[in-house]
């Protein structure tokens, strides 16, 4: 068990415990295709999510990450070169944000991947599973191997750790 004490512009003195080994012992219903590092390297969230390189995440995740140099969203940094994200204020209005992860789902996933387990896991896994409806729509409406069909939807599922290149 490793204890983390974290502070940034979103959280002050937030403490959590890594009770599992990184990348192991996931809930049986949660099987993401991509690691957080792979997502950052492919290009997600217009490069703005974690462009400040939070200190509670491994530095190695940011070596090849496509991050915004000016902390502004750039669709060209996304794998599919389209914008497929709502701003954080929209997530907050819809009450999708849990106080322990004020940046949203991807922050939850990064910390879960590293080994934190919390009372928000079930809710976040349920939200992750709900993205399969988009995978079904892509599969039904695109020819196999045409990764440029429905790029916005593909980028959206990529943001949820589904490998949209393989749909």
pLDDT tens profile 57-110: 999 999 999 999 998 999 999 999 999 887 778 877 887 788 899 999 999 999
Where b means 16+ CB within 10 Å and e means fewer, 95-121 reads: eebbeebbbbbbbbbbbbbbbbbbebe
Residue 85 lies in domain: 2-166
Q: How many domains does the chain have?
A: 1
Report the pLDDT value the prediction gives residue 36, as an integer from 0 to 100.
98
């Amino acid at each position: 068990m490793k204890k983390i004490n974290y502070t940034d512009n979103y959280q002050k003195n937030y403490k959590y415990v890594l009770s599992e080994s990184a990348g192991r012992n996931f809930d049986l219903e949660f099987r993401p295709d991509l690691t957080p590092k792979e997502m950052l390297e492919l290009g997600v969230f217009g490069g703005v999510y974690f462009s400040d390189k939070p200190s509670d995440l491994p530095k190695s995740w940011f070596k090849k990450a496509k991050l915004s140099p000016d902390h502004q969203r750039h669709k060209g940094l996304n794998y599919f070169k389209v914008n497929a994200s709502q701003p954080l204020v929209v997530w907050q209005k819809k009450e999708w944000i849990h106080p322990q992860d004020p940046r949203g789902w991807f922050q939850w996933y990064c910390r879960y991947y590293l080994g934190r387990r919390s009372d928000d896991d079930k809710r976040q896994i349920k939200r992750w599973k709900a993205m399969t409806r988009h995978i079904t729509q892509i599969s039904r409406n695109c020819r196999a191997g045409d990764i440029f069909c429905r790029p916005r939807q593909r980028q959206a599922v990529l943001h949820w750790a589904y490998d949209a290149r393989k749909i």
